[in-house]
Amino acid sequence: MKSFDVPLQFRSALMSAIKNKRKQADKLKKDVSPTSLAIGSLSISLARHFGFCYGVENAIEIAFKAVDENPTKRIYLLSEMIHNPGVNADLLQSGVQFIMDTKGKQLIPWDQIQAADIVIIPAFGTTVEIEQLLKEKGIEPTRYETTCPFVEKVWNRAEKIGQDGYTIIVHGKPQHEETRATFSHSKEHAPTLVINDMSEAITLSAFINGEKDLSLFFETFKGQYNEGFDPHKDLQRIGVVNQTTMLASDTQAIAEYLKQIMIAHYQLNESTIANHFADTRDTLCYATNDNQSAVQAMLETPADMAIIIGGYNSSNTSHLVELCETKIPTYYIKDELCLLDHLQIAHYNFHTKEQLQSKFDTTSKRILISAGASCPDAVVERVIARICLLHQEEVAFEALKASWI
């Protein structure tokens, strides 16, 4: 796989050494057990896969290349490059400005953007409408486009099944940048509907089965379907794709549930199922799959707590938290500064959107650690170093680093 020129401030010699050793010992990635780090009295289990993925490293390389190559020009990002506050802060410090926030709210009016400006497409991709707007302004959107290739793979899958006459059901968070982009590209080729979770899939099945009046469809899924969507005909043939960072088990469960609904409703068998349900398989990216599998394996290790590191608006990170919190006390933190001097930990409840503060129990010596796909390795190392400091194991941590590097 291609390697990228990631700025030094995001790298960690220790994390690179750990990842490289695991890769050399397991090139086919069959062993998803965590890496065990004995640090004095501490026992830290680090997930087999964590941190920057291919798409994120690609995006960061392109963004900083745009800065280096255009020292006299105004440089804009459509919205956050990735969902990591540290990376976005570094881009802002480099002079990059964000045109919109993560929810699509305009921060800089379009009439201020000119043909001579540089506009970077973020890793989530963007909508067909914004691509056209940029072209009309004389800006080529592909010049510094950082759209993740795995997101583009979903767009291609949606286009293919749309051309085959299916309606596209997108499993994703309706307000997430990636889902908005996927919805925009998908509706160019087929009727498209976004559903957030299994609850909405069950509601959708009631419309398919005729258990709910189709006149209620538009209010039920307001803002989640394309203009001209006709539930009378557009729910007869469907296929499921997803936002690439969703929980794998959720997407698989939703696709299988809707498949069984279509089988029962249209009395299908193996030879006729394709008449009403497209075989799309899973459209999660490899990193989402790898990170989730690694966390599930990590949870088999006896531990006192789990710490998951990443931006608080990061979908893939929140799903790692979701996997952990059903089995073990779990703290969702953005960086090492969340581990406070007075033995408190500042953490985030992504369900309620609350930032909380709890006691950091130093009698808890067995700790599981992972990080989202947009979290730099340098942050993971600093979190581990901070944990060691709070446990008074700084010397042991330096010895660990020396043994790996």
Together in a domain, 156 and 269: yes
Q: Which of 247, 275, 303 is the last residue of a domain?
A: 275
Question: Of 178, 200, 336, 393, which residue is the catalytic one?
Answer: 178
Is residue 280 in some structural domain? Answer: no
Please report which residue ranges of 10-117 form alpha helices under DSSP H: 13-25, 54-69, 85-93
Residue 282 pLDDT more than 70? no
- CA 198 to CA 171: how far, in whole Å? 9
Is residue 59 in some structural domain? Answer: yes
Together in a domain, 62 and 124: yes
Is residue 176 in some structural domain? Answer: yes
Q: Read off φ and ψ for residue 329, nearest 5 degrees.
A: -55, 125
pLDDT in tens, 346-383: 999 999 999 999 999 999 999 999 999 999 999 999 99
pLDDT recorded at residue 73: 95
C-alpha torsion angle, residues 266, 271, 273, 274 (rounded to 10): -130
Sheet with 118-120, side-by-side order of all strands: 97-98, 75-77, 118-120
Together in a domain, 190 and 271: yes
The CATH number linked to 108 is: 3.40.50.11270
Pick left, alpha or beta for residue 151 (phi over 0 → left; psi -120 to 50 → alpha; otherwise beta): alpha
- CA 383 to CA 336: how far, in whole Å? 4
Together in a domain, 42 and 60: no
Together in a domain, 48 and 63: no
Is residue 3 in some structural domain? Answer: no
- CA 174 to CA 295: how far, in whole Å? 26
Neighbours of 368 (CB within 10 A): 25
Together in a domain, 177 and 124: no
CA Rg value for the chain: 23
Q: Which of 73, 106, 136 is the last residue of a domain?
A: 136
Is residue 179 in some structural domain? Answer: yes
Together in a domain, 119 and 107: yes
Under DSSP, the state recorded for 274 is G
Q: Which helix (H) or strand (E) holds 152?
A: helix 149-163
Is residue 281 in some structural domain? Answer: no
Alpha carbon 208 to chain centroid, angstroms: 30
pLDDT in tens, 287-328: 888 999 999 999 999 999 999 999 999 989 999 999 999 999
Q: Which residue has the tokens 């899939």?
A: 201
Residue 284 pLDDT more than 70? no
Together in a domain, 164 and 181: yes
Q: Which of 136, 169, 189 is the last residue of a domain?
A: 136
CA distances from 93 to 81, 219, 226, 373 (A): 14, 43, 38, 22
Alpha carbon 375 to chain centroid, angstroms: 11
Together in a domain, 382 and 301: yes
Is residue 260 in some structural domain? Answer: yes
Together in a domain, 68 and 15: no
Together in a domain, 14 and 25: yes
Average pLDDT of the chain is: 94
Indicate if the alpha-carbon torsion angle 356, 362, 366, 369 is positive or negative: positive
Catalytic annotation present for 159: no
pLDDT recorded at residue 128: 95
Q: Tell me what percent of the residues of the chain surpass a pLDDT of 90.
A: 85
- CA 305 to CA 367: how far, in whole Å? 5
Q: Read off φ and ψ for residue 40, nearest 5 degrees.
A: 60, -120
Sheet with 167-171, side-by-side order of all strands: 192-195, 167-171, 238-242
Could you tell me the two tokens for 57?
């490293």
Residue 79 structural domain: 54-136
The CATH number linked to 242 is: 3.40.1010.20
Together in a domain, 320 and 252: no
Residue 1's pLDDT band (boundaries 50, 70, 90)? low
Count: domains in the chain: 3
pTM across the whole model: 0.88
From 181, 356, 381, 169, select the one nearest 280 (Cα to Cα): 169
Pick left, alpha or beta for residue 392 (phi over 0 → left; psi -120 to 50 → alpha; otherwise beta): left
Is residue 337 in some structural domain? Answer: yes
